[in-house]
Structure 1
Amino acid sequence: MRLRGKLTNLSVKAISPGKHCDGDGLWLHKTDESAKWVFRFSLSGRRREMGLGSTSHVTLAEARGMAREARTLVMQGHDPIRVRRDRAAEAAQRDVTFAQLTELAFEARKGSLKDGGKAGNWMSPLAVHVLPTIGHLAAKDVNQHDIVDVLKPIWRKSASIAAKALERIGIVLQHGAALDLPVDVTARTKARALLGDQKHVAIHIPAMPWREVPDFYKTLTEVEGKSALALRFVILTGARSAEVRELHLSEINGRIWTIPAARMKSGREHRIPLSDEAIAVIEAAKAVKVGGHIFVGPSGKPLSDMSLSKVMKTRDLPYRPHGFRSSWRDWAGESAKARHEVAEAQLAHVTGSRVSRAYARTDHLEERATLMATWADFVTGKGADDVAA
């Protein structure tokens, strides 16, 4: 015999802590701190409990109505917990905004981003140029005209940023489609057609001609400071400024510097052979280290990119630290006659087709070690006489 209506509004408030049955699967679970409604049921031989809410928000009559609906679903062979979850998902699909969908897409991708996306580079184009205008819109309502409206002002003025914003909008919409949201995944393509040609001319980072590097390097050896040492290491390794500035001593093993995938632009671990001169720079820099980092500033944190650029600006040079990668690459091709794949491997550039990369099993480390030793000799003046004029 089923028990119905054992509880009353008065008893719900006065009843002692414990689990109390109202009948037909409805229970009141009460503790000293709280009280909540629970519906108990069995489906496919499995006993389940479904929370119906706190007594402070759900009355006895409302709880009985919710239990009655859930009981009907069980009698029809449906799981009321799953039905409720599906209904909530459908409601979320109707109401999710483009800003909320952007956050979901970012959370799904940040594991593959450098440093987990903490630098904000992936989100920045959207946060600055897109979300303030259309972030409040329902994701399902965002169309190509909305995208054009937010990107048109910067489409040619800030072409690179606009292109990144458009690419990320496409990723967000694709993520929405994967969540079965009724979004228009073609909106990005249609917006691109409406925005037209960017007529953008790429501006390359100024690079010092490789024949001038030895003279500049000599000036760096004549001054003190971590910035000059870091810039020397940039020149000697062909690494990016950020990779050098955030170098940790644990990454150095003998004559090999292994940069973790998380710190690489490519997202892949990269090994760099170190010349005698590069090792000498490490030894000079690590005399003062903080937490394993050796290229640190007065604050105790890794040097900023501006600190390296300042070294060049104080000498009235138009070049930038990143340009030394180009300086080295030109030297490797013009003077050292290095094989293309070896030179590109040193810079951690991806070469060849996907198939050829899949079969590649070497990073040419030994050949690169010889190449970088020759470069160090040239930079320090030891091999100047052997270099083609």
Structure 2
Amino acid sequence: MALEAGKYCDGAGLWLVKPEPKNGKWVLRITVHGKRREMGLGRWPDVSLAEAREKADEARRELRDGRDPIRERQKRRRVAQRNLHLFRDIAHDAFETRKAELRDGGKAGRWFSPLELHVLPKLGHMPVAEITQIDLRDCFAPIWHTKAETARKALTRTSICLEHAAALGIDVDLQAPKKARALLGKSKTTSTNIPALPWQGVPTFYQSLDEGSVTHLALRLLILTGVRSKPLRFMREEQIEGDVRVIPADQMKGRKDATADFRVPISTEALRVINKARQHARDGYLFPSVRKGVISDATMSRLMERRGMKARPHWFRSSLRVWLAEATDASHEVAETMLGHVVGSAVVRA
């Protein structure tokens, strides 16, 4: 027979309070630090008498230990709420936090893309606190040997995301990425180095670039200045100050706000190439593409590929470095500085 509306005591402070016959709630009356309190234990009939007694016993144990059962429950709920954060949300938050450190605010997508392509589709829906080394192993196993460098970057970014979650107060396993690496083993992929053109062959190749096209002129200036492809391709008229070209810090390799402008001397031959490039200039850029923007690195690479060359544009820097070491008396510090490399500690550089 169903109990009518009213209050029914089960003993030791446990009550069933029924405002109407079909609904009610379990309440535990306790004294905390000298004050009478009522602690709800759930709705009736969803919570059975056995469950209510079990919850009441747990609360009484906490009370005997000098703890407030109501506050302890609130703490557990807060922890559970924190741990419900999905990895996808943590990854996006970690990315937003680091945008200020990334080139162009991370617009190129290079930092986030390894996560977006290889991690979020599999782990994005999981609470970050539940991610284990087994989950990471299963996530990265398909690309661990076939796309080793991409997998390495993605796992490193994942580790950063877990550290971000820990900073937010979420209970995560910070060792999971390290343990996943141990489970995955050493990558079987071997990197293939692209050879640089021996410096002895550079003059002949330089002389062959005689068409006066944007591609030929860009490759010539790349050889003459030893800069990287991007600052060469994005070279603008206003960056030329007499016989010096000033490369803005945001075009130099290095962390944002930790890299300074780089000054490159312009030789007589380089100035001659620049003057020819000015005839092709568009929107302030000396090396525009056929349609819009600037010439691509792939355009220069394809020219060398069509000639049967294994070397690529970037490796003219290597050719220059070897020439400096073998054919000149330039010191190590001077040679490295010419390539825009940081030499020595901050104290030495000062």
Q: Does structure 1 residue 345 correspond to structure 2 residue 337?
A: yes
Deviation at 1:316, TM superposition (A): 2.0
Shift of 1:341: 1.4
Q: 1:260 to 1:90 in 2, by over 3 A?
A: farther
Q: CA deviation at 1:289?
A: 2.2
Partner of residue 315, structure 2: 323
Instruction: Map 1:97-112 onto structure 2 (within 5 A).
Output: 97-112=86-101
- What is the aligned partner in structure 2 of residue 48 from structure 1? none
Under a length normalisation based on structure 2, what TM-score does the superposition of the two structures give?
0.73
1:359 maps to what in 2?
A: 348
- Write the deviation string for residues 106-137 of structure 1: whole angstroms up to 9, x where unpaired: 11112211222111111121111111111111
Aligned-pair CA distance for 1:292: 1.6
Q: Give the Cα separation in 1 of the matches to 2:246 and 2:177.
A: 39
The aligned runs of 1:179-328 (5 Å cut-off) are 179-220=168-209, 222-267=210-255, 268-269=259-260, 270-328=262-320
Shift of 1:89: 8.5
The alpha-carbon deviation at position 290 of structure 1 amounts to 2.4
RMSD: 2.2
Taking structure 1 as the reference length, what is the TM-score of the superposition? 0.66
1:5-62 CA distance string (max 9 Å, x none): xxxxxxxxxxxxxxxxxxxxxxxxxxxxxxxxxxxxxxxxxxxxxxxxxxxxxxxxxx
Q: Relative to 1, partners in 2 of residues 1:87 and 1:297: Cα closer, same or farther, differing over 3 Å?
A: farther
* Paired letter, 1:258: V
Q: Distance in 2 between matches of 1:152 and 1:297?
A: 40
Question: How far off its partner does 1:300 sit?
Answer: 2.7
**Retained in 2: the 8 A contact 1:255–1:273?**
yes
Q: Paired residue for 2:324, among 320, 323, 332?
A: 332
Residue 153 of structure 2: aligned partner: 164
For 1:254, the aligned partner's letter is G
What is the letter of the counterpart of residue 242 of structure 2? Answer: G
State which of 114, 134, 138 in structure 2 corresponds to 1:149.
Answer: 138
Distance 1:337 1:163 in 2: 39
The aligned runs of 1:84-103 (5 Å cut-off) are 93-103=82-92
The one-letter code sitting in structure 2 at the alignment partner of 1:340 is H
Distance in 1 (CA, whole Å) between partners of 2:228 and 2:194 is: 13
What secondary structure sits across from 2:83 in the alignment?
A: helix
8 Å CA contact 1:289–1:296 kept in 2: the answer is yes
Q: Equivalents in 2 of 1:229, 1:146: separation in Å?
A: 51
Structure 1 CA distance, aligned partners of 2:283 and 2:312? 28
Alpha-carbon distance in structure 1 between the residues aligned to 2:79 and 2:335: 54
How many Å separate the matches in 2 of 1:219 and 1:237? Answer: 18
1:200 Cα deviation (Å)? 4.3
Q: Distance in 1 between matches of 2:280 and 2:78?
A: 55
Greater Cα radius of gyration, structure 1 or 2: 2
Please list every run of 5 or more consecutive structure 2 residues that lacks an aligned counterpart in the other structure: 1-74
SS at the partner of 1:242? helix
| Inter-partner Cα distance in structure 1 for 2:206 and 2:310 | 16
The structural deviation recorded for 1:88 is 12
Q: Is the 8 A contact 1:114 1:265 kept in 2?
A: no
Describe the SS at the equivalent of 1:95.
Answer: coil
How much does 1:210 deviate?
A: 0.4
Q: Distance in 1 between matches of 2:177 and 2:268?
A: 51
For the pair 1:128 / 2:120, whether they are aligned, the reply is no
Aligned residues: 272
1:218 deviates by 0.3
Amino acid at match of 1:171: I
Amino acid at match of 2:277: A
Q: Deviations over 1:314-342 (max 9, x none)?
A: 32222111111111111011111321111
Whether contact under 8 Å (1:207, 1:323) holds in the other structure is yes
Is the Cα contact below 8 Å between 2:141 and 2:184 reproduced in 1? yes
Instruction: Give the Cα–Cα distance (whole angstroms) in 1 for the partners of residues 346 and 143 of structure 2.
Output: 37
Deviation of residue 90 (structure 1)? 6.7
Contact 2:194 2:310 in 1 (8 A): no
Give how far 1:263 is off.
Answer: 1.7
Q: What is the CA distance between 1:103 and its match in structure 2?
A: 0.9
Matched letter for residue 285 of structure 1: A
